[in-house]
């Protein structure tokens, strides 16, 4: 793939995309690009007021629906309102927060980034006709999934270790979902992506001095959100993308550039760990996938 951009997205008229976290950052950029290509875009947002502003700028082919990934009841209610979706884009996320918990008692980063999207995908998978795209991060490299203490109730909490765990969990989930879809005979694909180092508001919620440091990084080192969203958009729209593919930027250390196929670390391909995480995620969320 050679310097693919959003201008290369095929006509998406007649197709429906659900994009989580579409009220800002990479999700907003992706929703705008998909809408411009003619898709019907469902902006799944916790902040619906911001979502409505984005939807109005896209046009009549965009709508906003309330979704709080830190609340299993909200996820269930959202999914019940969706009839059919071609592509589910699991984009929303939080990063490096102080220790806090979701409505259901999960550590906020694993609860939002992984368990929330796990539950959403489980509720919607029978309604998905094409693919599920899950956003990970290059920082999955620092992660380690602890199945005995996924929610940081015994370990000393580390905000960055918790973020790395959640992003590694995203990849374990994406790959395991593809294995289970394949085993069930489904034609639906599971694909993953990461944005490299992209300038978004994700880096502004650590509630610490790190916010100021990352603001400088966003200004002088990061690529734009428009560039950061390209691997996600490629994963979501290009017909030839195979299930189980991971896409990221093609530049130095995958920090910036145009989308291409990238690799992930050995931990992300641990089949036993992925199966264990799947089982644990079902237990925590109470969501069973139909092919299980």
Give per-residue pLDDT as tens, 152-179. 999 999 999 999 999 999 999 999 999 9
CATH number of the structural domain spanning residue 36: 3.40.50.720
| 56: in domain | yes
Query: What range defines the domain where residue 82 resides?
Result: 11-285
Q: What separation, in Å, do the N-terminal and C-terminal C-alpha atoms of the chain show?
A: 36
Percent pLDDT > 70 in the chain is 92
Query: Among 67, 61, 90, 70, which residue's Cα sits nearest to residue 80?
Result: 67
CA 289 to CA 200: how far, in whole Å?
33
Instruction: Name which residue leads in pLDDT, 92 or 216.
Output: 92
At 83-111, the pLDDT tens digits run 999 999 999 999 999 999 999 999 999 99
276 touches 111 (CB < 8 A): no
Q: Does pLDDT of 258 surpass 70? A: yes
Is 5 a domain residue? no
Total Cβ atoms within 10 A of residue 183: 9
Residue 124 falls inside a structural domain:
yes
Contact call for residues 75 and 123 (beta carbons, < 8 A) = yes
Number of domains making up the chain:
1
CA distance 76 to 28: 23
Q: Is residue 1 assigned to a domain?
A: no
Within-domain flag for 4 = no
Q: Does the pLDDT value for residue 214 go beyond 60?
A: no
Tell whether 50 is covered by a domain.
Answer: yes
In a domain, 73, yes or no: yes
Q: Could you list the active site residues?
A: 163
């Amino acid at each position: 793939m050679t310097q693919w951009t959003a201008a290369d997205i095929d006509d998406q008229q007649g197709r429906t995309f659900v994009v989580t976290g579409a009220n800002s950052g990479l999700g907003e950029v992706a929703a705008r690009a998909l809408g411009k290509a003619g898709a019907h875009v469902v902006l799944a947002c916790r902040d619906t007021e911001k979502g409505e502003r984005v939807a109005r700028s896209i046009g009549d082919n965009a709508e906003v629906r309330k979704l709080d990934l830190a609340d299993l009841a909200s996820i269930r209610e959202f999914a019940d309102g969706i009839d059919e979706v071609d592509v589910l884009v699991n984009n929303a996320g939080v990063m490096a927060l102080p220790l806090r918990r979701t409505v259901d008692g999960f550590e906020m980063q694993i609860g939002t980034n992984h368990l929330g999207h796990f539950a959403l995908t489980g509720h919607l998978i029978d309604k998905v006709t094409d693919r599920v795209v899950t956003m990970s991060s290059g920082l999955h490299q620092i992660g380690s999934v602890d199945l005995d203490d996924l929610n940081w109730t015994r370990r000393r909490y580390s905000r960055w270790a918790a973020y790395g765990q959640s992003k590694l969990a995203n990849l374990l989930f994406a790959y395991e979902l593809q294995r289970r879809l394949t085993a069930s005979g489904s034609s639906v694909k599971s694909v993953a992506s990461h944005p490299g180092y992209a300038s978004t508001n994700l880096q502004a919620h650590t509630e610490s001095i790190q916010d100021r440091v990352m603001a400088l990084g966003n200004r002088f080192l990061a690529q734009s959100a428009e560039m950061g969203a390209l691997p996600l958009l490629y994963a979501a729209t290009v017909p030839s993308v195979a299930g189980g593919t991971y896409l990221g930027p093609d530049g130095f250390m995958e920090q910036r550039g145009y989308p291409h196929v990238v690799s992930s670390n050995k931990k992300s391909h641990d089949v036993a760990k992925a199966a264990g995480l799947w089982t644990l995620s079902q237990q925590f969320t109470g969501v069973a996938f139909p092919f299980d």
